[in-house]
Structure 1
Amino acid sequence: MSVEFPPMIGKYKILGVIAKGGMGIVYKAIHPSLKRYVVIKKMTERNRSGSGERFKKEAQILLDLQSPYIVHLFDYFTDQGYRYMVEELVDGSAVDAIIEKQKKLPCPVAMLILQDACYALKYAHSKGIVHRDIKPGNILISRRGEVKLADFGIASDARSSTYDGSKNLTMSGVALGTPAYMPPEQFEDSTRVDNRADIYALGIMLYEMVTGTKPYPGSLSIENLKTIKKGKYTNPRKLDKTIPRTICKLIDKMIKPKAKRRYQNIGCVIKVIKKYLKHYDTHELRVQVAKTVIASKKYEIPAIVQKDKKKIIVRRIVAGVVLAGLVLFGLWESGAVHKTLLRKWYSEVSINLEMPHSLSKNLDLPARAFFYKNDNDKLPEVSRSYRNFYVRGSRFYENIFSFGTKKEVSRPAAKNKTYNIRHLYLKKGEYRVKIVVGPYVWWKSFSAVQNKTEIKCDFLKNKTRKLNIKALAYDYETQKNISEARVSVLFNNNWVDINAIDPEKIETGAVWKIKVSADGYNDELFSLLIDWFQDDLTVSALLKKNK
């Protein structure tokens, strides 16, 4: 740039002019003691106190922001009535220039740049600072691929009152920022925006990096503002099918028109970015960023492949094989294969076991079935044919998938209950089944030659057993045995001495009322529910003496 410049500004040697605008000039200079290139920003306006205070405030903010992701401030001073800021020189390019040169960036590269910008904002937000002017032009990238956030000229600072009592330099109701990157709330009042405004602007920048265009028009008009408030924009995948849905969802969440529906802090955005970038070699991505910055013309970035792509493919294959195996196993176990493909060679075997139901809940005798090949010799057991009996419709999955399942209806008056086994498919032939219910064993030979073989088992139907009752009596106070105690049973609505009742008539599967008595003692009564398989009862009574 052929513009005249002073040889020295303060202690800094000026090498040239980088940029010039209506309010200031940017020089390239050398730091006298650090011996490194720096940028000197000169504010050329002298009489506008508001602009001068804002310039000073930016310097105060940068002085406190010591982060590798934010442009470093070396000095702030005034000379001959002009204000100056001395910042590190980022020898490279801004993201807007890169987008203009490249048209758009590969998604992994764009996400890496976004990640570093997020790190910068995370640090700034932790200090109570909202940038309010996030855009590609304020994201600088060095020739080494380092990403730096710059230009805090209109940033808001929650600690502004601590700086020499300075007041807020932004008037209420005034919109500051770059319209194309501003959220709806910033158009209304820039003083009321928070960190979510920066998140919105980053989302717009990400959209622009991966598509090469902005989601909304950059010009400020009533129509454009209405569009922004409605949040209607073209999905990135309609512009480029290769953009992952993960990035589309990230953008959509970041640029929600209503701040409360966006990510509420920058840490949430970083979490999504890290999850995406973990599949890539970030060092190689940064090399590509640096090469893009260095190139004078459009740089053809080579195809970027996930570092763990092979692992992902292998995992998907393994997952597919496992899933297929589970499906096949499920089809085999459910009998679907036997009912269709193997129907010609297999018979579906079912057993209906009828026996007295338990009077006490969940106290049924365990019942099992074992199947054997009937070779009239060694009777080898059929592999994986062992089955437990259960009441049909009582299992959880049967209640969910109730179609085709007939649930056993509980009838209090019914003495017996029917139990079934889980479906079993046997090769057609001759077999024997052994059914074991507590102390009872039942064997049966059967032929499985039809498509369905049903076995009815009722050897325990209406089964009862003789009940042996033994009663013991003890003194309540001394715990000594009372040998002369008497035992009576409520029989045919009368209390009858137990020894006077025919033992054959005292059976299980009923409620028995028992009274233990002794001279000089109060009677003690028992009302006991005895299940059909409980055939031995002992009653111990503690008798209290009559008062």
Structure 2
Amino acid sequence: MPKRSSTPTPDVIGKYRIINQIAQGGMGAVFKAVHPSLRRDVIIKKLTLRTGNSSIRERFKREAQILMDLSSPYIVRMFDFFTEARNDYIVLEFVDGMSLDKLLEKQQSLSPQLALLIFLDACYGLKHAHSKGIVHRDIKPGNILISRRAEVKLSDFGIASGEKENDSAAKQKTADSNATVVAPVREGITMTGAKLGTPAYMSPEQLDDSSSVDQRADIYSMGIMLYEMVTGTKPYKGDMSSDTLQAIRKGDYEPPERFAPKLPRFVSSLIKKMMRADKQKRFQSIDPVIKKIKRYLKKYDQHAIRVNLAQAVIATKEIRLPQSYQTRHHKAVRNSLIVVAVLAFMGLIAAGWFSKFFLNTVLRHWYTPVSLAMEMPENNLPDTDLPARAFFYVNDNKEIPLVDEAYKLPAMSNNIRDFYTPKAAKGAADGNEESAKKPNRKNVKVVTKPVYLKPGDYRVKIVEGPYIWWNSITVGKEAQTLEFNFLKNARRYLKVRTNAIDAQTGADITDQCKFMVETPKGLKDLATLPAESLLTGTVHRFHITAPGYHEEYFGLRIEWYEDELFLNGSLKKK
């Protein structure tokens, strides 16, 4: 672990104001500082030079050159490289969060979906590096940084190799790196057979000769890292014992599903192919790995997973994260079932409500059913629609307010209750008069559906066509049916307006015509009848005559409420 420096922390390094020192090592230090023009926090890595360590300086510069060639949101950015007082400095992007190894220490292991989300972003960073001909050679959780906003970035290219590097200097451990050098170092090159990297994550070929590895070594290390993310343990020990080396070369490790029994087969297969001991049998590039993971994660709500990742990074201690995530399809099915269940429940509630089940049972103690019954003349026309309605008011002897939701149940959608009238008997109209030869004296009883009112004093207004009737009522605890007979045997005086035309020419011949009506005393001229001679609620027969024209006859059923008749004749010439 890096030591804290006993020397005072400088206030300024180059143009950068120092906030604090993060770590101190034998050959350097790491500081947190502020970029003077960008006004953002940065990391400054300092290399302290000593005599005979030119290879270390070259390696430090090499890292800066590699980072300068890289520009990806998934790789830590480099802002500057400079030398001051024989010390070299690299200025890097500050990632406010934690490394993946620290997250694993806190959470022990991650769900397959969360692990793959982090892993996919690291793959994007690695793809960019590979596209530049750069092999990282030290992929491990400690070099994956995760910000508090769940941004994932690949870091530490200290032992990376590139196309321009024919020979490479061996890496010595700097203040912020845990990469291990396992070989003698010679000036300016990595010896053939030298081992660079972290043993627990190194591929078999990297263990044999780190100078000649290609991108498939990084893919192997990524497989090891994914194994650790989903199981919470490494497939191999981190030592360099002969047993460990032999197991790595043979690919002899416990399958990940032994430690994670619910691990999806897709993840297990992915890990196993990436960790093939024979590099020819691994994925030959990171592209198919990215493609497979993207297709797998497409089924999940990646935003929700990333929110969980941010929560885990921000938390100071372990938090409970989902062990697995449901696919969008399962969520849609589940949500559909919930909606169906809720609608079914609401349907049952509505059915019970509108069928008055709740009103007559659960709420019956507070509300009383009140029905209105009326007797009125029966209508002979089957299609007659004479409005009959009732309005209820609170009888407070002051404002007399219309009953609103405070006094009537929400089941009442308005303040008006329609009367229900039995179907009328067939009557006579224009020729079907035999069934209605006698005046209609029959009454019918109509009854409203009940309204539910709190006990108290009310006034009811009944509107039947042109009639309005008021009455005061008292509602108690017992169900009530209130009887009203003010329209029983109701009849009205009939007023007849006459007109006649020539059927061929349309000319008005009203003045030439006589309009006659049948009465018990024979045909009478309408012009000579007293105004209140004809009543409604019966059949009237009319005759229209004129010199030189055929007579026209009307037999009409006049309902009790129809009090004005417009009689229009169209006479044909003889």
TM-score, normalised to structure 1's length? 0.55
Alignment of 1:307 onto 2:311: no
Q: Is the 8 A contact 1:253 1:262 kept in 2?
A: yes
Given residue 216 of structure 1, which amino acid in structure 2 is its aligned partner?
Y
Q: Is the 8 A contact 1:25 1:42 kept in 2?
A: yes
SS of structure 1 residue aligned to 2:249: helix
1:223 to 217, 234, 243: 243
SS of structure 1 residue aligned to 2:254: coil
Alignment of 1:170 onto 2:190: yes
SS of structure 2 residue aligned to 1:170: coil
1:15 is matched with which residue?
Answer: 19
Q: CA–CA distance in 1 between the matches of 2:114 and 2:294? A: 13
Given residue 279 of structure 1, which amino acid in structure 2 is its aligned partner?
K
1:74 is matched with which residue?
Answer: 79
Q: Is the 8 A contact 2:17 2:35 kept in 1?
A: yes
2:295 to 256, 275, 292: 275
1:310 to partner: Cα distance: 4.7
Given residue 305 of structure 1, which amino acid in structure 2 is its aligned partner?
Q
Q: CA–CA distance in 1 between the matches of 2:249 and 2:40? A: 46
Gaps of 5+ in 2: 169-186, 336-574
Given residue 33 of structure 1, which amino acid in structure 2 is its aligned partner?
S
Q: Is the 8 A contact 2:55 2:188 kept in 1?
A: no
Given residue 49 of structure 2, which amino acid in structure 1 is its aligned partner?
E
1:23 to partner: Cα distance: 2.4
Q: How many residues are aligned here?
A: 312
Q: CA–CA distance in 1 between the matches of 2:145 and 2:60? A: 20
Q: Is the 8 A contact 1:54 1:169 kept in 2?
A: no
Q: CA–CA distance in 2 between the matches of 1:133 and 1:173? A: 17
1:311 to partner: Cα distance: 5.7
1:436 is matched with which residue?
Answer: none
Q: CA–CA distance in 2 between the matches of 1:149 and 1:121? A: 7
1:245 is matched with which residue?
Answer: 265
Q: Pick the structure with greater CA Rg.
A: 2
Given residue 306 of structure 2, which amino acid in structure 1 is its aligned partner?
R
Given residue 46 of structure 1, which amino acid in structure 2 is its aligned partner?
R
1:44 is matched with which residue?
Answer: 48
2:399 is matched with which residue?
Answer: none
Which aligned pairs between 1:90-489 and structure 2 lie closer than 5 A?
90-160=95-165, 169-302=189-322, 304-310=325-331
Q: 1:80 to 1:260 in 2, by over 3 A?
A: same
Q: CA–CA distance in 2 between the matches of 1:93 and 1:211? A: 20
1:18 to partner: Cα distance: 1.4
1:160 to partner: Cα distance: 3.0
SS of structure 2 residue aligned to 1:118: helix
1:305 to partner: Cα distance: 2.0
2:338 is matched with which residue?
Answer: none
Alignment of 1:35 onto 2:43: no
Q: CA–CA distance in 1 between the matches of 2:167 and 2:277? A: 33
Q: Is the 8 A contact 2:100 2:141 kept in 1?
A: yes
Given residue 143 of structure 1, which amino acid in structure 2 is its aligned partner?
R
Q: CA–CA distance in 1 between the matches of 2:25 and 2:294? A: 39
2:455 is matched with which residue?
Answer: none
Q: CA–CA distance in 2 between the matches of 1:162 and 1:185? A: 18
1:83 is matched with which residue?
Answer: 88
1:57 to 54, 62, 73: 62
Q: 1:57 to 1:149 in 2, by over 3 A?
A: same
Q: CA–CA distance in 2 between the matches of 1:258 and 1:139? A: 26
SS of structure 2 residue aligned to 1:90: coil
User: Per-residue displacement from partner, 1:463-482 (whole Å, max 9, x unpaired)?
Assistant: xxxxxxxxxxxxxxxxxxxx
* CA root-mean-square deviation: 2.1
2:411 is matched with which residue?
Answer: none
1:124 to partner: Cα distance: 0.4
Given residue 227 of structure 2, which amino acid in structure 1 is its aligned partner?
Y
Q: CA–CA distance in 2 between the matches of 1:114 and 1:242? A: 19
Given residue 139 of structure 1, which amino acid in structure 2 is its aligned partner?
I
Q: CA–CA distance in 2 between the matches of 1:230 and 1:285? A: 36
Q: CA–CA distance in 2 between the matches of 1:92 and 1:219? A: 29
Q: Which 10-residue stretch deviates more, 77-86 or 234-243?
A: 234-243
Q: CA–CA distance in 2 between the matches of 1:245 and 1:312? A: 23
Q: CA–CA distance in 2 between the matches of 1:132 and 1:312? A: 45
Q: Is the 8 A contact 2:167 2:190 kept in 1?
A: no
Given residue 267 of structure 1, which amino acid in structure 2 is its aligned partner?
D
1:161 to partner: Cα distance: 6.2
SS of structure 1 residue aligned to 2:79: strand
Q: 1:168 to 1:199 in 2, by over 3 A?
A: farther
Given residue 100 of structure 2, which amino acid in structure 1 is its aligned partner?
V
1:308 to partner: Cα distance: 2.0
Q: 1:53 to 1:312 in 2, by over 3 A?
A: farther
SS of structure 2 residue aligned to 1:76: strand
Given residue 190 of structure 1, which amino acid in structure 2 is its aligned partner?
S
SS of structure 1 residue aligned to 2:280: helix
SS of structure 1 residue aligned to 2:197: coil
Q: CA–CA distance in 1 between the matches of 2:282 and 2:334? A: 34
Gaps of 5+ in 1: 315-547
Q: CA–CA distance in 1 between the matches of 2:5 and 2:193? A: 41
Identical pairs, percent: 55
User: Per-residue displacement from partner, 1:339-369 (whole Å, max 9, x unpaired)?
Assistant: xxxxxxxxxxxxxxxxxxxxxxxxxxxxxxx
1:168 to partner: Cα distance: 7.0
Q: CA–CA distance in 2 between the matches of 1:19 and 1:143? A: 21
Q: 1:62 to 1:171 in 2, by over 3 A?
A: same
User: Per-residue displacement from partner, 1:474-523 (whole Å, max 9, x unpaired)?
Assistant: xxxxxxxxxxxxxxxxxxxxxxxxxxxxxxxxxxxxxxxxxxxxxxxxxx
Q: Is the 8 A contact 2:134 2:163 kept in 1?
A: yes
TM-score, normalised to structure 2's length? 0.53
2:393 is matched with which residue?
Answer: none
1:126 to partner: Cα distance: 0.5
Q: CA–CA distance in 1 between the matches of 2:319 and 2:132? A: 38
Q: 1:96 to 1:273 in 2, by over 3 A?
A: same
Given residue 110 of structure 2, which amino acid in structure 1 is its aligned partner?
L
User: Per-residue displacement from partner, 1:293-313 (whole Å, max 9, x unpaired)?
Assistant: 111100111352222225689
Q: Is the 8 A contact 2:17 2:33 kept in 1?
A: yes
Given residue 56 of structure 1, which amino acid in structure 2 is its aligned partner?
K
Q: Is the 8 A contact 1:46 1:82 kept in 2?
A: no
Q: 1:139 to 1:123 in 2, by over 3 A?
A: same
Q: CA–CA distance in 2 between the matches of 1:267 and 1:41? A: 32
Q: 1:205 to 1:291 in 2, by over 3 A?
A: same
